[in-house]
């Protein structure tokens, strides 16, 4: 039992040290580098922070499809390559004039020539009028360590009424995000997550 108490006390010290380290680190460095000047001869290395990777994913059948003059859902596959969870709060969108490319297949490999960004397809992000402005999700999305989450964003995409007929029954690779608002930490919930965003 004494061993148990000693072990618990040691764990407590470690957790307290971690807690103090996280809260005391107010600068926004991308990585915690090894501290070679630490007294006592020991050296600890923090993990580098890798970027999130967001790719298109086939939307579930319940997702709202696009029609001329309507809004539709977008499916995102958010992959966290880091060995710790990451909380995603918002995305930043590209400029208003950027349209999506249409594809004939869900894997986005077979382009539809008459439904390209240059046609234009007239498919774009909703609330795109403020380039690179942050669009906050209705709830935070926590992606577990080295995990991937399917994220459905409701009514995030619009199709203008002048969209060409060739864009019917197409899959769209949305214009790339300009950035995200994400930070280390959080408790992953798991499973597909459905959110909306505020402009």
Q: Which of 109, 80, 102, 97 minimizes the C-alpha distance to 188?
A: 80
Contact by Cβ (8 Å): 82, 68: no
Three-class SS state of 7: helix
Q: Does 18 bind other proteins (CB under 8 A)?
A: yes
Stretch that binds other proteins, among 10-18, 34-42, 129-137, 189-197 (CB under 8 A): 10-18
Q: Does 69 bind other proteins (CB under 8 A)?
A: yes
Query: Among residue numbers 96 through 155, which ones bind other proteins (CB under 8 A)?
Result: 100, 102, 106, 108, 123, 140, 142, 153
**What is the rounded distance in angstroms from the CA atom of residue 122 to the CA atom of residue 128?**
13
Q: Does 72 bind other proteins (CB under 8 A)?
A: yes
Q: Which is nearer to other proteins, 85 or 111 (CB)?
A: 85
Q: Does 4 bind other proteins (CB under 8 A)?
A: yes
Out of 34, 169, 190, 199, the residue judged to bind other proteins by CB under 8 A: 169
21-49 exposure pattern, b = at least 16 Cβ within 10 A, e = fewer: eeeeeeeeeeeeeeeeeeeeeeeeeeeeb
State the minimum distance, in angstroms, from the CB of residue 2 to other proteins.
9
Cα–Cα–Cα angle for 137, 139, 140, rounded to 5 degrees: 90
Q: Which is nearer to other proteins, 20 or 43 (CB)?
A: 20
């Amino acid at each position: 039992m004494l061993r148990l108490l000693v072990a618990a006390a040691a764990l407590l010290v470690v957790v307290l040290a971690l807690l103090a380290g996280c809260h005391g680190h107010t600068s926004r460095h991308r990585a915690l580098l090894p501290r070679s000047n630490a007294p006592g001869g020991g050296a600890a290395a923090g993990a580098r922070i890798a970027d999130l990777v967001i790719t298109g994913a086939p939307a579930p059948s319940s997702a709202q499809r696009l029609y001329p003059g309507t809004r539709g859902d977008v499916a995102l596959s958010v992959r966290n390559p880091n060995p710790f969870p990451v909380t995603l709060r918002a995305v930043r969108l590209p400029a208003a004039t950027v349209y999506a490319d249409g594809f004939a297949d869900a894997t986005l490999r077979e382009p539809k020539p008459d439904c390209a960004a240059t046609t234009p397809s007239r498919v774009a992000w909703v609330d795109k009028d403020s380039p690179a402005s942050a669009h906050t999700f209705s709830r935070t999305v926590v992606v577990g360590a080295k995990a991937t989450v399917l994220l459905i964003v409701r009514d995030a995409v619009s199709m203008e009424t002048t969209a060409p007929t060739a864009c019917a029954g197409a899959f769209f690779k949305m214009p790339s995000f300009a950035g995200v608002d994400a930070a280390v930490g959080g408790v992953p919930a798991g499973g597909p997550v459905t959110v909306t965003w505020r402009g």
